[in-house]
Amino acid sequence: MSSTFEHHPDPSAGPLAQGAAPQHTDHSTVAPGEIAVGVVIGRASEYFDFFVFGIASVLVFPSVFFPFENRLDGLLLSFVIFALAFVARPFGTALFMAIQRRWSRGTKLTAALFLLGSSTVGMAFLPGYDTLGGHAIALLAFFRILQGIALGGSWDGLPSLLALNTPPGRRGWYAMLGQLGAPIGFMLASALFLFLHANLSNDDFLNWGWRYPFFVAFAINVVALFARLRLVVTEEYTKLLEERELEPIGMFEMLRKQDHNIFLGAFAALASYALFHLVTVFPLSWITLNATQSVNNVLIVQVVGAVVGILGTIASGFIADRIGRRTTLGLLAILIGIFSFFAPWLLGGQQAAQDAFILIGFALLGLSYGQAAGTVTSNFPIRFRYAGAALTSDLAWLIGAAFAPLVALSLSSKFGLGAVSLYLLSGAICTLGALRLNRALEARD
């Protein structure tokens, strides 16, 4: 069984299979830095789309699509629709892997990002409940499912390729680059909503202002599409993928041959994914629901928190290259577990305590999420990494993050903020358990 984090090469497989720098002279030349740029641009555009929806789920959708419910129930229903994309992601991965096998990577990526942008801009044109009634809710859910399918299909293999083309002493650094898109996307989405919410009346914001971030998301996807296609469809990139044997394996074959690696990899990063929406989407919902501070103040703190998350993600690359990715993830899981015990006191306190919850949470998120890709890129034999990385990430998001705002808000509203502690603690325990299991399997092998 292959290691979850540190790939153990087959001595007979040669330097390519071992993830070392290729030695033959006709090897195509694509610099890791060039791949990294494509990774950051692609992930930032995708996460911007998703965070625009997440923020709108708190600030807009309860009033526009669920005006017949009280504020809490409207938020919970919005979070149900929010979770649909994560349920749809694995199906999107399977569908678009088949498209790639039938046609090409360029066709797959173009179709996926066109679908992602179209479904996002479709939400911008969607009338509210007062105009379409229940059909508005059904269309919102439909577009959200399409977003999830599209995001599953937008996997381009760049992070896997990047991991296989970096010097061994720099793997933590380059693994972090693939994760930078998340805090960057959240920072941009939060800043845009902050600008609109601060400069428009509440009526104007709910009538038309909230739609602009969805239009911007479409424009960003167009730019990102051309930036990524410029790299993905080149002869050098195609040859490099073929040399690395990164293939779009079918999902049934993946589950049949690599099910242990898929689930072990998903649970090994669970602490990061459990924390993700509990410091981004959930605090905004909890604070606005209880009116302990203004929406604008929360958005300002979250923009600052995203910057902290970016710095934490960058720092994780340095740390992981010195102490190892597995050690980094394990250490951060312990810190997240400790943080979980303080969550009720911080989030349930005054403004300063709530702000501290967001900022500390983002710092831990950046440090841990920055190396979560290690569980994806090193978990599989090379041939299975392209599809395995996508499916493992899908399941990690589904298990750890998809229902986090819904579960945390629902339980916290009934039983108190101790539910947030339990959710975070469970993610930390799962990560430590998966790391422990991986070590035991590694020792057995």
Rounded mean pLDDT, 119-139: 95
- 297 Cβ contact list (under 8 Å, min separation 6): 351
Model pLDDT for residues 324-378, shown as the tens digit of each residue:
888 999 999 999 999 999 999 999 999 999 999 999 999 999 999 988 876 555 6
pLDDT band per the 50, 70, 90 thresholds, residue 163: low
Per-residue confidence (pLDDT) for residue 25, from 0 to 100: 38
SS3 content of the chain, % helix, strand, coil (to 5): 80, 0, 20
Q: How far apart are CA 287 and CA 187, in angstroms?
A: 19
193 burial level (CB within 10 Å; 0-12, 13-18, 19+): buried
Q: Do 1 and 134 contact (CB within 8 A), yes or no?
A: no
Model confidence pLDDT, tens digit, residues 164-177 = 667 777 878 887 88
pLDDT band of 56, cuts 50, 70, 90: very high
Average pLDDT over residues 8-35: 45
- Nearest 5°: the CA angle 283, 213, 33 is 90
Does 34 score more than 80 pLDDT? Answer: no
**Burial class of 168 by CB neighbour count within 10 A (0 to 12, 13 to 18, 19+):** exposed
219 vs 15 pLDDT, higher one = 219
Indicate the pLDDT class of residue 197, thresholds 50, 70 and 90.
Answer: very high
pLDDT at 244: 59
Residue 50 pLDDT level (bands cut at 50, 70, 90): confident
Q: Which backbone phi and psi does 51 adopt, to 5 degrees? A: -75, -30
Percent of the chain with pLDDT over 70: 85
* pLDDT, greater one: 78 or 36: 78
The rounded distance, in Å, linking the Cα atoms of 234 and 279 is 39
Helix (H) or strand (E) holding 27: none
Q: Give the global pTM.
A: 0.87
Q: What is the DSSP string of 89-126?
A: HHHHHHHHHHHHHHS-HHHHHHHHHHHHHHHHHHHHT-
pLDDT bucket at 192, cuts 50 / 70 / 90: very high
| Predicted pLDDT of residue 125 | 94
| Residue 250's pLDDT band (cuts 50, 70, 90) | confident
pLDDT at 219 (0 to 100): 85
- DSSP notation for 189-253: HHHHHHHHHHHS-HHHHHHTGGGHHHHHHHHHHHHHHHHHHHHHTSHHHHHHHHHHT-----HHH
